[in-house]
Amino acid sequence: MTYRNGRILGVMTLICIVCAVQARHHRNLGDLGFAMDEIEQSYVETVDRQKLYRAAMNGMLDSLDEHSGYIPPDDFRSFRSQLDQEFGGLGIMIEPRPDNDPIRIFTVLFDSPAFKAGVLAGDVIEKIDNHNAIGMPTDRATRLLRGAPGTEVTLTVRRDDSDELIKIKIRRAIIETESVTGDRRLPDGRWEFMMQANPKLAYLRIEIFGEKTTAELRSALATIRKQAEGVIIDLRDNAGGLLPTATDICDMFLEDGVIVSTAGRNGNFESTRTATPGVDLPDSIPMVVIVNGLSASASEVTAACLQDRHRATIIGERTFGKGSVQNVIELEGGNAALRLTSAHYYPPSGKNIHKRAKAKDSDEWGVTPDENLVVSLDDEQKKAVYERLRDRGNPRSKRDRDQPVESSNADANSQSLFDRDPSLVNDPQLVRAIEFLMDSK
């Protein structure tokens, strides 16, 4: 056999192997399409082909981990708008709840259509237009509340547990949501980040790691940098968001060194993000990060990094334990998506964050508060903390907290924390964070 003929034979062999592999893949796809056709045409009852397609997608992804999944069009729009921090709607957030519980408004965004129409935090929604909202699933209520800017919706609400029902007509608009909030909202809508309980300390709560969170946090830090003697970052109930946002935030507090590493299939490390020179808050200002069992994903990246690099002290409860990274792959022309776990992340210490399906409490997972700084809450305390946050974010609140604190004229030791801010009695985790920073001076 000549050299030329040998090369031709080698190329043809390679082509045959590739074709065989592709044929096997196409045969599986063909069988799936054939099964869908047979079901659609021959099943005893009429079947929606789109429902078959979604069931097939869900069936495939259900065989993977709990964080991989198919995101259908309705859910994908909500998913994207949450991370983009922008959507067409009223400007309200509803409380997380079991589907059979009343739909209660947690926050009314300042100057939003709902705010201007007189909707109040704490209102219970009885009807959305003509739809009975009692027992309505949260995702359906959210879809009915959102809509194209300029369209109208009528809410029927019950206020202060009274029997009177109030009808409020609201015109939807483009809503830009906040992801960084402060100690209390002032009547003019601004957030006050210096604490009412101690005007030498700053409080910043991060609700989600979205597209605008980095800029929001940087702006907040700029307002408190010169007066804060300590900073509290509250990541409780923060389920995560964008990994690049979490690493950008860590970079604000670190001059150099590892922030997080990701490892893909077979544990091979794919990338390591390191800090860049320059910080938004001097190292001389101590920080505390508060976490709980619902702090997950990007929240855990941030807490673990700042703990491992000795830049912040962690207070609260062990975190959720989601140490996996998901790629979002758009489908159906960008109207739906595949959420696929592609890697696990590891903080600078290299310890495991991810909680496996059969993990025990004694196993290593999540981010654990620093020594002697575990503060657990019972169900009643958790509810009280939630109500406190709702009240502090309401610019119409009648509590004595509406004026900004001038730290230069305030003696933080002249009164107790509870004299300055009586609502703290409902938040022992935050109290412990304040006391820790006061003791560290």
Residue 166, amino acid:
I
What are the start-end ranges of the H helices in 229-355?
243-251, 298-308
Quote the pTM value: 0.81
Contacts 24+ apart (CB under 8 A), 304-310: 304/260, 304/347, 304/348, 304/349, 304/351, 304/353, 304/367, 305/250, 305/254, 305/259, 305/260, 305/347, 305/348, 306/250, 306/253, 307/347, 307/367, 307/370, 308/347, 308/348, 308/349, 309/254, 309/257, 309/348
**Catalytic pick among 123, 237, 261, 322:** 322
309, two tokens: 């690099």
DSSP designation for 26: H
Q: Is 407 known to be catalytic?
A: no
Q: Is 398 known to be catalytic?
A: no
Dmax (CA) of the chain: 98
pLDDT in tens, the chain (441 residues): 555 544 444 444 444 444 444 445 455 566 677 777 777 787 777 878 888 878 877 887 788 888 888 888 877 777 777 777 767 889 888 877 776 778 888 888 888 999 999 998 889 999 999 999 888 888 888 888 988 899 999 999 998 777 889 999 999 998 888 899 999 999 888 899 999 999 999 999 999 999 999 999 999 999 999 999 999 999 999 999 999 999 999 999 999 999 999 988 776 767 899 999 999 999 999 999 999 999 999 999 999 999 999 999 999 999 999 998 888 888 888 888 888 888 889 999 999 899 988 888 888 999 999 999 999 999 999 989 988 998 898 887 665 544 444 444 444 455 788 899 999 998 999 999 999 999 986
Q: What is the C-alpha separation between 128 and 140, in angstroms, rounded?
A: 11
Residue limits of CATH 3.90.226.10 in the chain: 180-439
Residue among 247, 232, 240 nearest 373 (CA): 232
Q: What is the C-alpha separation between 153 and 203, in angstroms, rounded?
A: 36
**Catalytic pick among 68, 261, 297, 423:** 297
Residue among 327, 352, 336, 332 nearest 67 (CA): 327
180-439, what's its fold? 2-enoyl-CoA Hydratase; Chain A, domain 1 (3.90.226)
Residue limits of CATH 2.30.42.10 in the chain: 87-175
**Catalytic pick among 308, 391, 421, 427:** 308
Beta bridge partners of 232: 203, 288
Class (C level, CATH) for 87-175: mainly beta
Residue among 205, 206, 210, 327 nearest 270 (CA): 327
373, two tokens: 């700084």
Q: Is 308 known to be catalytic?
A: yes
* Cβ pair 337, 329 in contact under 8 A: yes
3-class DSSP state for residue 355? coil
